[in-house]
């Protein structure tokens, strides 16, 4: 099956207690104006209550200020899924982020299949951000689990947190071999760096000292660069 | 007292009874009257608004007769020929008008006469609620002053100097004399002879009634009551959209009325983010209401109406047969808003504020007509002073959450704290960034905030703040809050 036949549909599991999942999703959306148009951000009520609302100034600093956000406050998971499906039919959107808390009943295998079909038909990238959810059945070709990691070194102030790092585990993928990486957002190159996790020593010694794995070509259109 | 701009400064446009008793007269200069009565309250007159209100009132007054027009800046003329008996005679009709105008908060001076000129004269210079018939017309008009003839000031002055003070005096003069002195017609439209003839009905003076504003409404009456009105809607909507297309308008507010046979009516509204006349799109906005429709014994009348319209020019399709992306976005906003409520679909509403939660809030996207630039590529335009970029979280909690400090140090954020019943230890921190309260809008006891970006052990970056300082005299010891999440 070629890459093109797979829907541009990615699932990311994370906790509402930290912003790692949101950070990784937004960092992967940072494609330097490859697609113009607003981002549709669908949140159900519990996700908004537990994890807060997206905050424009911070997001614009992360992904550049060319794409505004259209936020949809859904009451529950079913309504969030309906809004996502409507959004996937609109080609003027640059991406749809669906944020669902926990495991709502409406979000089953069939629902993900419907989302996948629509995403594939209209080629609108869909990111399903599963907050505090348990892994269940899904059609998504790529499924990530994101945890926060200690940040890189801040060159200006050693006591301050530096560039954000996340522990990104691709635990299921139909495009690549699953694996576990330390992900970091390269703001200048508009992509995400994936480095093999350090086996020993303290995390946070800088990217230049991290052991390099063999670079591999990564398909799928995602702005992912492996080191 | 209302003032309008005159040739030499403001002049009095209208005054209430108290001001008139104090010496204010229409046309006098405001400074002169101020000298007489220093405590006079002056407000600017809204002439354009008055004219618009009078036009609306004229249209409203077609409840009594089908033919009405505004007359000057403060009058209306209604042609009630053949419609007065519907109200039980002219006296009853005038009483009804008084009641209805009083309900609107207006006082009216009314008169009923066979000609426009006579009605004008009687309403302004006659006894209240005069009703005159063709037989009594000359006798009723005779005692009225010359001013009741709608003449210009110069002619009035000449007549006054000639000693002609009443209309009756003018009637007694031979026509030929009047015509020789003032002219009969031609360029002098408002000659005394002509006005007299118009008032007495010897010359016709038609009333030009402006057409009512176009109403985009389509009514479908069904021969038999139906339980499901949906099959009839596409036709009605297509007819409505054809009307809109012909006039170059698009609907911003769509209204559907369903009338049941038992007299019950249901009304559904749908609003759009930008004007639209696409029947399929407008129908889809109404779709949600049919799921919970109570049909009773069936519907026999269906009405679709564009309650608010805005100009919409013809849009050209692109070569690939796809609609413009702005239209596609507005369509999406409409659909989501129609289904989930307008408040649920939000776009950022930035404000000039340095308080983080006030600087950018979420506002309904459908209400944003003037701020289309926010959803356009490019986003917010610059302009004005731009603050240096500060590090901001990507998620902001809806309300700052209080954290329990387990181990505090005099300077900087606490070493250990508890948030949502889980303890955290801070590994690194950055700050403080001091954000002072907006003293011009908050109460005096509002406290400043010292924000820290902290990283806890095991990752996780948060935005904490301490509200207030120890000993700033604005409450007890300062509290700590968690406000946002960094990536």
Give residue A10's pLDDT band: very low, low, confident or very high (50, 70, 90). very high
Handedness of CA A163, A166, A167, A170 (dihedral sign): negative
Distance CA B364, CA B282 (A): 19
C-beta atoms of A40 and B332 within 8 A: yes
Q: Look at residue A200 in the predicted model and tell me its pLDDT.
A: 52
Chain B: closest CA distance from residue A102 (Å): 17
CB-based contact A88:A116 (threshold 8 Å): no
pLDDT in tens, B154-213: 888 888 888 888 888 888 888 888 888 877 665 556 788 888 888 888 888 888 888 888
C-beta atoms of A165 and B460 within 8 A: no
Please name the residues in contact with B454: beta carbons below 8 A apart, sequence gap of 6 or more.
A161, B413, B426, B428, B429, B430, B461, B462, B463, B464
Question: Hey, is A157 helix, strand or coil?
Answer: coil
A:144-163 residues touching chain B, CB 8 A cutoff: 147-151, 154, 157, 159-161
Give residue A209's pLDDT band: very low, low, confident or very high (50, 70, 90). very low
pLDDT in tens, B91-118: 899 999 999 999 988 888 899 888 888 8
**Mean per-residue pLDDT for B333-342?**
89
**Mean per-residue pLDDT for B297-320?**
81
pLDDT in tens, A113-130: 999 999 999 889 999 999
A:100-139 residues touching chain B, CB 8 A cutoff: none
Ordered DSSP codes for B426-441: EEEEEEEEEE---TTT
Q: Pairing between strand B43-44 and B2-6?
A: parallel
Chain A: closest CA distance from residue B99 (Å): 49
CB-based contact B313:B260 (threshold 8 Å): no
Q: Count CB-CB contacts under 10 A for residue B315.
A: 12
Distance CA B360, CA B242 (A): 41
Collect all residues of chain A within an 8 Å Cβ-Cβ radius of residue B345: 70-73
Written as six digits, the tokens of A88 are 């996937």
Distance CA B251, CA B245 (A): 10
Name the residue among B422, B346, B360 with its Cα closest to residue B393: B360
pLDDT of B317 over the 60 cut: no
Handedness of CA B460, B465, B471, B477 (dihedral sign): negative
What residues are paired with B305 via a beta bridge?
B217, B255
Alpha helices in A102-218 (DSSP H): 109-122
C-beta atoms of A17 and B394 within 8 A: no
pLDDT of B318 over the 70 cut: no
C-beta atoms of A55 and B395 within 8 A: yes
Give residue B387's pLDDT band: very low, low, confident or very high (50, 70, 90). low
Please name the residues in contact with B428: beta carbons below 8 A apart, sequence gap of 6 or more.
A151, A154, A159, A160, A161, B454, B455
Please name the residues in contact with B118: beta carbons below 8 A apart, sequence gap of 6 or more.
B132, B137, B140, B141, B199, B200, B201
Chain A: closest CA distance from residue B355 (Å): 12
Q: Pairing between strand A191-195 and A224-226?
A: parallel
**Mean per-residue pLDDT for B337-356?**
88
pLDDT in tens, B225-245: 998 889 999 999 999 999 998
CA atoms within 13 A on the CB side of A66: 11
C-beta atoms of A82 and B335 within 8 A: no
Collect all residues of chain B within an 8 Å Cβ-Cβ radius of residue A48: 398
Decide which of B22 and B427 is more confident: B427
- The segment with the largest mean pLDDT, out of A95-99, A210-214, B318-322, B409-413, is A95-99
Distance CA B41, CA B53 (A): 23
Chain A: closest CA distance from residue B239 (Å): 27
Q: Look at residue A221 in the predicted model and tell me its pLDDT.
A: 40
pLDDT of A8 over the 50 cut: yes
Chain B: closest CA distance from residue A48 (Å): 8
Q: Look at residue A109 in the predicted model and tell me its pLDDT.
A: 94
Instruction: Please give the share of chain B, as a percent, with pLDDT higher than 90.
Output: 20
What residues are paired with B395 via a beta bridge?
A54, B485
B:362-381 residues touching chain A, CB 8 A cutoff: 362, 365, 374-380
State if pTM tops 0.90: no
A:179-208 residues touching chain B, CB 8 A cutoff: 185
Q: Count CB-CB contacts under 10 A for residue B475.
A: 11
Q: Look at residue B386 in the predicted model and tell me its pLDDT.
A: 54
Collect all residues of chain A within an 8 Å Cβ-Cβ radius of residue B392: 55, 57-58, 61
C-beta atoms of A164 and B487 within 8 A: yes
pLDDT in tens, A64-74: 766 789 999 99
Give residue A146's pLDDT band: very low, low, confident or very high (50, 70, 90). very high
- CA of residue A55 relative to chain centroid, distance: 16
pLDDT in tens, A39-63: 999 999 999 999 999 998 888 888 8
Chain A: closest CA distance from residue B426 (Å): 11
Alpha helices in chain A (DSSP H): 20-29, 45-51, 56-63, 77-88, 109-122
- Is the minimum CB–CB distance between B3 and chain A shorter than 8 Å? no
Alpha helices in B68-219 (DSSP H): 90-103, 116-125, 137-141, 153-161, 167-172, 175-182, 192-200
Name the residue among B133, B147, B151, B226 with its Cα closest to residue B189: B151
Q: Identify the burial level of A142 via C-beta atoms within 10 angstroms of its C-beta, where 0-12 means exposed, 13-18 middle and 19 or more buried.
A: buried
pLDDT in tens, B4-17: 877 778 888 888 88
Written as six digits, the tokens of A81 are 């899924």
Host H or E run for residue B401: strand B395-402
pLDDT of B449 over the 60 cut: yes
Ordered DSSP codes for B194-216: HHHHHHHTSS-----PPPPPP--
Chain A: closest CA distance from residue B394 (Å): 4
- The closest CB to that of A73, out of B344, B461, B487, belongs to B344
Please name the residues in contact with B447: beta carbons below 8 A apart, sequence gap of 6 or more.
B437, B467, B468, B469, B472, B474, B475, B478
CB-based contact B192:B155 (threshold 8 Å): yes
Written as six digits, the tokens of A1 are 């099956």
Q: Identify the burial level of B323 via C-beta atoms within 10 angstroms of its C-beta, where 0-12 means exposed, 13-18 middle and 19 or more buried.
A: middle
- The segment with the largest mean pLDDT, out of A86-90, B132-136, B190-194, B211-215, is A86-90
pLDDT in tens, B12-68: 888 888 888 887 888 888 888 888 888 888 888 888 888 889 988 888 888 888 888
Decide which of A221 and B150 is more confident: B150
CB-based contact A177:A47 (threshold 8 Å): no
- The closest CB to that of B362, out of A17, A53, A66, belongs to A53
- The closest CB to that of A151, out of B346, B392, B455, belongs to B455
Give the CA angle between residues A75, A77, A81 to the nearest 5°: 105
Helix B325-340, helix B279-286: angle, nearest 10: 20
Chain B: closest CA distance from residue A196 (Å): 17
- Of A213-227, B74-88, B274-288, the range with the lowest mean pLDDT is A213-227
Q: Look at residue B394 in the predicted model and tell me its pLDDT.
A: 92
Question: Hey, is B28 helix, strand or coil?
Answer: coil
- The closest CB to that of A148, out of B340, B348, B459, belongs to B459
- CA of residue B458 relative to chain centroid, distance: 57
pLDDT of A33 over the 80 cut: no
What is the pLDDT of chain B when averaged over all its residues?
A: 85
Q: Look at residue A226 in the predicted model and tell me its pLDDT.
A: 55
Q: Identify the burial level of A198 via C-beta atoms within 10 angstroms of its C-beta, where 0-12 means exposed, 13-18 middle and 19 or more buried.
A: middle
Instruction: Please give the share of chain B, as a percent, with pLDDT higher than 70.
Output: 92
- The closest CB to that of A86, out of B336, B343, B350, belongs to B336
Residue B164, phi-psi category: left (phi > 0), alpha (psi -120 to 50), beta (remainder): beta
Q: Look at residue B248 in the predicted model and tell me its pLDDT.
A: 87
Distance CA B214, CA B249 (A): 11
Distance CA B429, CA A157 (A): 10
pLDDT of A202 over the 70 cut: no
- Is the minimum CB–CB distance between B388 and chain A shorter than 8 Å? no
Written as six digits, the tokens of A157 are 């102030």
Name the residue among A149, A140, A143, A131 with its Cα closest to residue A195: A149
CB-based contact B426:B417 (threshold 8 Å): yes
CB-based contact A1:A118 (threshold 8 Å): no
**Mean per-residue pLDDT for A182-197?**
85
CB-based contact A73:B346 (threshold 8 Å): yes
Length of chain A counted residue by residue: 227
Distance CA B322, CA B403 (A): 52
Name the residue among B487, B486, B478 with its Cα closest to residue B403: B478
Q: Look at residue A208 in the predicted model and tell me its pLDDT.
A: 44
Collect all residues of chain A within an 8 Å Cβ-Cβ radius of residue B380: 65
Chain A and chain B share a number of CB contacts under 8 A equal to 190
Q: Look at residue A198 in the predicted model and tell me its pLDDT.
A: 66
pLDDT in tens, B352-376: 888 888 888 898 888 764 444 444 4
């Amino acid at each position: 099956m070629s890459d093109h036949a797979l829907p541009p549909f990615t699932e990311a599991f994370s906790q509402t207690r930290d912003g790692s999942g949101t950070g990784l999703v937004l960092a992967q959306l940072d494609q330097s104006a490859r697609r113009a148009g607003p981002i549709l951000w669908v949140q159900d009520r519990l996700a908004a209550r537990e994890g807060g609302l997206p905050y424009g100034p911070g997001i614009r600093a992360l992904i550049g200020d060319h794409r505004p956000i259209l936020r949809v406050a859904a009451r529950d998971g079913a309504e969030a899924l309906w809004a996502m499906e409507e959004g996937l039919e609109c080609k003027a959107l640059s991406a749809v982020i669906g944020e669902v808390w926990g495991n709502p009943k409406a979000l089953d295998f069939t629902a993900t299949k419907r989302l996948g079909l629509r995403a594939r038909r209209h080629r609108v990238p869909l990111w399903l951000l599963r907050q505090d959810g348990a892994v269940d059945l899904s059609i998504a070709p790529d499924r990530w689990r994101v945890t926060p990691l200690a940040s890189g070194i801040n060159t200006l102030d050693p006591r301050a947190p530096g560039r954000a790092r996340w522990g990104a585990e691709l635990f299921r993928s139909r495009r690549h071999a699953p694996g576990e990486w330390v992900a970091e957002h390269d703001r200048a190159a508009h992509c995400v760096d994936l480095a093999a996790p350090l086996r020993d020593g303290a995390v946070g010694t800088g990217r230049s000292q991290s052991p390099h794995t063999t670079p591999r070509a990564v398909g799928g259109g995602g702005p992912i660069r492996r080191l | 007292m209302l003032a309008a701009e005159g040739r030499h400064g403001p002049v009095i446009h209208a005054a209430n009874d108290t001001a008139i008793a104090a010496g204010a007269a229409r046309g006098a200069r405001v400074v002169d009257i101020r000298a007489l009565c220093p405590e006079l309250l002056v407000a600017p007159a809204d002439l354009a608004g008055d004219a618009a209100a009078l036009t609306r009132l004229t249209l409203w007054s077609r409840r009594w007769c089908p033919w009405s027009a505004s007359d000057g800046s403060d009058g209306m003329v209604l042609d009630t020929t053949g419609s007065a008996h519907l109200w039980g005679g002219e006296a009853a009709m005038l009483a009804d008008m008084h009641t209805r105008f009083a309900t609107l908060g207006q006082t009216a001076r009314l008169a009923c006469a066979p000609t426009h000129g006579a009605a004008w004269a009687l309403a302004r210079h006659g006894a209240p609620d005069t009703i005159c018939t063709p037989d009594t017309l000359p006798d009723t008009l005779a005692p009225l002053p010359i001013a009741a003839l709608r003449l210009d000031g110069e002619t009035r002055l000449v007549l006054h100097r000639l000693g002609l003070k009443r209309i009756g005096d003018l009637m007694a003069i031979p026509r030929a004399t009047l015509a020789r002195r003032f002219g009969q017609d031609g360029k002098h439209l408002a000659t005394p002879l002509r006005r007299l003839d118009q008032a007495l009905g010897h010359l016709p003076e038609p009333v030009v009634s402006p057409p009512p504003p176009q109403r985009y409404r389509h009514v479908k009456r069904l021969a038999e009551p139906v339980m499901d009105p949906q099959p009839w809607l596409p036709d009605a909507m297509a007819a409505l959209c054809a009307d809109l297309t012909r006039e170059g308008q698009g609907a911003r507010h769509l209204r559907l009325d369903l009338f049941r046979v038992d007299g019950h009516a249901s009304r559904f509204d749908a609003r759009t983010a930008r004007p639209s006349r696409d029947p399929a799109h407008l129908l889809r906005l109404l779709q949600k209401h049919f799921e919970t429709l109570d049909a009773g014994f069936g519907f026999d009348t269906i009405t679709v109406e564009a309650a608010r319209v805005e100009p919409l020019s013809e849009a050209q399709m692109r070569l690939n047969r796809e609609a413009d992306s702005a239209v596609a976005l507005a369509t999406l906003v409409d659909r989501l808003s129609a289904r989930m409520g307008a408040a649920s679909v939000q776009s950022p509403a930035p404000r000039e504020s340095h308080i983080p939660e006030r600087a950018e809030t979420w506002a309904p996207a459908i209400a944003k007509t003037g701020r289309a630039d926010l959803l356009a590529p490019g986003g917010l335009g610059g302009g004005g002073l731009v603050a240096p970029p500060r590090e901001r979280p990507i998620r902001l909690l809806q309300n700052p959450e209080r954290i329990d400090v387990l181990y505090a140090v005099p300077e900087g954020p606490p070493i250990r704290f508890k948030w949502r019943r889980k303890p955290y230890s801070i590994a690194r921190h950055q700050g403080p960034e001091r954000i002072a309260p907006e003293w011009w809008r908050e109460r005096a006891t509002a406290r400043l905030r010292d924000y820290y970006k902290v990283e806890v052990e095991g990752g996780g970056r948060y935005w904490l703040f301490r509200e207030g300082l120890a000993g700033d005299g604005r409450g007890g010891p300062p509290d700590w809050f968690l406000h946002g999440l960094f990536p």
